[in-house]
Chain A
Amino acid sequence: MKKLILFGPVFLIIVILAVWFIDGMGDVVQPIQYNHFVHVQEEEIECLECHQYAEDYARASIPNIDECADCHDESELEDEEEMTSDEDIIRQEMKRQEKKILFAYMAQNKKIPWRQVNNVPNYAYFSHRRHVKLGGIECVECHGDTGKQTTPIVRPHETRSMAWCMDCHEKENVSNDCYACHH
């Protein structure tokens, strides 16, 4: 009986860890703890300011050091902000750490190795211009409310599959001929 009581919690912990591990398995690790919330909601920067090509090309593009440098430079690290609580201090320190990583890349003139998480295989054709400009579809519809995200994007908003593309095409009365997408 005693053994069982001991075993119960241990078993539970193992299950929890296993679920947590399996759930995170497909996730990628981004080089910087990038925060969409700060940029999009607090600072009100438009998606297209960073993902410049979403309207005009197939690829939306992920911004890199050149674009970051438009707003960020090393002098920021000296800025002292008023800190009232312990939480503020921790938050500030984390922010400084992430910015240091960014400035290290900028100083070496090295690209930030972002990992692209939304991917269609190379045998299918997907174009942002077709959907954003011609279709008038909002980013939210396919990527979720990215602006609320305080951590980097480590997985697609929803399971990406051909059925996902075709369901919307069916609804919108768009061609579902295999050769509309496959090449």
Chain B
Amino acid sequence: MPKWGMIIDLNKCTGCGDCVTACKVENNIAVVGQEESANGRTMLWMDIITTYEGEFPNVKVRHMPRPCFHCEHPPCTKVCPVGATYLNDEGIVAQIYPQCIGCRYCQVACPITVKTFNWYTPEWPGRMAEACNPDVAVRPMGVVEKCTFCIHRLQKAKEQAAVEKRELRDEDYVPACAESCPTRAISFGDMGNPTSKVSQLKRNPRAFAVGEDLGIEPKVYYLSEVE
């Protein structure tokens, strides 16, 4: 079984936001209004966390793209009373919408706050609803959602590989964020395979993970910036 993981090279990341947009469009993520956004109800599966260091005029801006970390010891799945979120065999933390009762325990349990709750029935401005991705469910009001590593792409890739009678290769399955990144800062692949690109990058001395001290064992790693 593969263990899907991601490496994000902060040295290459320019903070352009392409991954955020690609993710939003790919996954039919609802658009909430300005007012709701101010209330902290913005819905993003991939977010860019921007931090500023130093005093003007010597300011250093840092960007950190943040998808779901798909932890090997996810705190969110342990609190779900109905099994709507769980860690599957391929290392993806699943979110099964029709099973979700909207209690939002998992949202509270997540130390990196990747989970968002659908406060409303999703709506899109104008004719954007017609541009929804048919491969991805439109989540109803009252369920929690988050990054799925574009699971619908994996489902299709597996089928395509089976039709071509071969094993699934790393390049068959790439989430929308990694695909869209103009500087190729995001790498994606099988972390269980020691020869894969992500496994090699993980051994890079610059590699670090956020939240390792919490024992959650994330499968999203970062390569730190070189000054």
Please report A residues at the B interface, Cβ cutoff 8 Å: 121-123, 125, 127, 129-130, 133-134, 177-180, 182-183
Chain B interface bracket (under 10, 10 to 19, 20 to 34, 35 or more)? 20 to 34
Do B159 and A183 have beta carbons less than 8 Å apart?
Answer: no
Point out the residue from A125, A129, A130, A177 that lies within 8 Å of B152, measured CB to CB: A125
**Which residue of chain B lies nearest to A134 when distances are taken between CB atoms in the complex?**
B162
5 sampled A-B residue pairs with Cβ under 8 A: A121-B98, A130-B162, A134-B163, A178-B99, A182-B94
Do A122 and B137 have beta carbons less than 8 Å apart?
Answer: yes
Task: State whether the Cβ of B97 lies closer than 8 Å to any Cβ in chain A.
Answer: yes
Given A129-B159, A129-B163, A133-B163, residue A179 in contact with residue B134 (CB < 8 A): no
Determine the distance from Cα of A178 to Cα of B83 in the docked complex, in whole angstroms.
10
Instruction: Collect the chain B residues with CB atoms within 8 Å of residue A183's CB.
Output: 135-137, 148, 151-152, 155
Instruction: Collect the chain B residues with CB atoms within 8 Å of residue A180's CB.
Output: 155
Given A125-B152, A134-B162, A134-B163, residue A179 in contact with residue B137 (CB < 8 A): no
Determine the distance from Cα of A183 to Cα of B88 in the docked complex, in whole angstroms.
13
**B200 shortest CB reach to chain A, Å:** 27
**Which residue of chain B lies nearest to A178 when distances are taken between CB atoms in the complex?**
B96
**Which residue of chain A lies nearest to B159 when distances are taken between CB atoms in the complex?**
A130
Point out the residue from B92, B134, B159 that lies within 8 Å of A122, measured CB to CB: B134
Please report B residues at the A interface, Cβ cutoff 8 Å: 86, 88-90, 92, 94, 96-99, 134-138, 148, 151-152, 155, 159, 162-163
Instruction: Collect the chain A residues with CB atoms within 8 Å of residue B136's CB.
Output: 122, 183
A-B contact count (CB 8 A): 47
Point out the residue from A129, A130, A182 that lies within 8 Å of B96, measured CB to CB: A182
Q: Which 9 A-B pairs have the closest CB atoms?
A: A123-B137, A183-B152, A179-B94, A178-B96, A122-B137, A125-B155, A179-B88, A183-B151, A182-B96
Determine the distance from Cα of A127 to Cα of B96 in the docked complex, in whole angstroms.
19
Point out the residue from A121, A123, A130, A177 that lies within 8 Å of B89, measured CB to CB: A177
Told that A177-B88, A179-B94, A179-B151 touch, could you supply 5 new A-B pairs with CB distance under 8 A?
A: A123-B97, A123-B98, A125-B135, A125-B155, A179-B92
Instruction: Collect the chain A residues with CB atoms within 8 Å of residue B151's CB.
Output: 179, 183
Determine the distance from Cα of A182 to Cα of B155 in the docked complex, in whole angstroms.
9
Determine the distance from Cα of A127 to Cα of B158 in the docked complex, in whole angstroms.
12
Instruction: Collect the chain B residues with CB atoms within 8 Å of residue A129's CB.
Output: 159, 163
**B45 shortest CB reach to chain A, Å:** 13
Instruction: Collect the chain B residues with CB atoms within 8 Å of residue A179's CB.
Output: 88, 90, 92, 94, 96, 151
**B118 shortest CB reach to chain A, Å:** 13
**A37 shortest CB reach to chain B, Å:** 33
Determine the distance from Cα of A75 to Cα of B88 in the docked complex, in whole angstroms.
60
Determine the distance from Cα of A125 to Cα of B90 in the docked complex, in whole angstroms.
18
Do B92 and A134 have beta carbons less than 8 Å apart?
Answer: no
Instruction: Collect the chain A residues with CB atoms within 8 Å of residue B86's CB.
Output: 178
Determine the distance from Cα of A130 to Cα of B160 in the docked complex, in whole angstroms.
9
Instruction: Collect the chain B residues with CB atoms within 8 Å of residue A125's CB.
Output: 135, 152, 155
